[in-house]
Amino acid sequence: MKHRIVVLGAGYAGAYVAGTLARQLSPADTEITVVNAEPDFVQRLRLHQLVAGQEIEAPQLTDVFAGTGIRLRLARVTAVDPERQVVHVADADGGGELGYDTLLYALGSHGDDRAVTGAAEHAFDVAARPSALRLRERLDGLGKRGEGGSVLVIGDGLTGIETATEIAESRPGLSVTLVARGELGTRLSAGARSHLRQACDRLGITVLEHTEVEAVEAARVLCADGTALTSDATVWTAGFAVSPIAAAGGLEVTENGRIVVDRTMRSVSHSNVYAVGDSAYAIGDNGRPLPMSCASAGYTGMQATAAIVGRLTGRKIPNTKLEHLGNHISLGRRDGILQMVDDEGQAKPKHVGGRKAARIKSGILKMSLWTASHPTFGLPKRKRRLVVASDASAEKAFA
């Protein structure tokens, strides 16, 4: 019996890990299955562009994994049972169970709209393609009215800033307001904050700082100071959360549901489960938890791949880099900010802004898409055989 590797999620991390494992491990010993709810690869880093009305590439996963030997299961993960080593899925045919010997958990994160009354019912988010398309349809409708409309973006993190600036640039007929709980761009250096304010002014974005949102209604947002802000479309970007599936399955997780992993991305509670990307609570080389980001997905994915291949083939497991170097923020299509951080996670004094930063961000996006779309490119062609018997227990395989 072959060693069954199941990868949950085909985002930036999941697609990379699955492809790398397929290239490095012998198909005579291993069987790799990727489970994903959507049939295409979603460029989550560019969903704010999709919202703004732009077309972004979405490669079909059947094309992405063509010729790799990877099995694709289009289904939604409903539960994980690490004791029985099965995954429960739901699809158009009703779903079922998938057994595994090694599980790679890469289900990512979604918008966190639980903390404020009405946010889940009345606000839009840009954390997933279906929700981004619903917001795009709403903005299209506002544009067709011919009388403009008001858009409130709640949350001034990277997603909120990119969403507000993209909508304002691409849809100038709409009135865009960015609501910040504290000072706008508080995590940026002084120079970068100044650049951000100038960009908002240039794009006509109204910025409300030190504003706490208490409730979201269909046509307005209520603030803690009693202010009511009218809104034709409220966009919620104030935080992200992970699926409760890992916690419900008995894996050791943090308070917010992220899987606690060791230096090799292996679950500290279940030795044949690995977690990568936003789903993983991983400590970086600076001793701090890695943030939810595309860069973290890449670093954790490389480490998990090295660990899985090493343990299955009896090789030494290297420690790959686990670092957070900075943030790349797009401010529409022709402007941006590149802010590097130090080992303490604090912004360094200097930043790169303007068209140069926009070009750097564009290059990163293109590289991320190409890498995800060609998961086996440039990897060694030698297929490594497993040193554990195909019918060995998980305990022997991962000792």
pLDDT, averaged across the chain: 91
Average pLDDT of the segment spanning 234-241: 90
- What pLDDT does residue 393 have? 40
The model's pLDDT over 134-156, given as tens digits with 9 standing for 90+, comes to 999 999 999 887 778 999 999 99
Residue 380: pLDDT band (50, 70, 90) is low
Distance CA 279, CA 260 (A): 9
pLDDT bucket at 388, cuts 50 / 70 / 90: low
CA distance 355 to 162: 15
Distance CA 239, CA 275 (A): 21
User: Cβ neighbours of residue 370 under 8 Å, at least 6 residues apart?
Assistant: none
Rounded alpha-carbon distances, angstroms, from residue 385 to 25, 71, 102, 352: 6, 19, 16, 47
Q: Which pLDDT band, with edges at 50, 70 and 90, does 310 fall under?
A: very high
Relative to beta strand 213-216, strand 206-208 is unpaired
Q: Please, which pLDDT band fits residue 165 given cuts at 50, 70 and 90?
A: very high
Most confidently modeled range among 113-117, 351-355, 361-365: 351-355
**Angle CA(256)–CA(18)–CA(107) in degrees, nearest 5?**
20
- Tokens in use for 262? 């060791």
Q: Which residues of 155-167 are buried (b: 16+ CB within 10 A; e: fewer)?
A: bbbbbbbbbbbbb
Q: Which helix (H) or strand (E) holds 162?
A: helix 158-170
- How does strand 71-74 pair with strand 109-111? unpaired
pLDDT, tens digit, 9 for 90 and up, residues 80-138: 999 999 999 999 888 899 999 999 999 998 888 778 999 999 999 998 889 999 999 99
Q: What CA–CA distance (Å, rounded) separates 94 from 96?
A: 7
Is the predicted pLDDT of residue 399 greater than 80, yes or no? no
User: What is the dihedral angle through the alpha carbons of 387, 390, 393, 397, rounded to the nearest 10 degrees?
Assistant: 20
Rg from Cα positions in the chain = 22
pLDDT tens sequence across 61-70? 999 998 889 9
With beta carbons less than 8 A apart as the criterion, state whether 215 and 221 touch.
yes
Q: What is the pTM of this model?
A: 0.90
Please state, in angstroms and rounded to a whole number, the distance separating the CA atoms of residues 309 and 306: 5
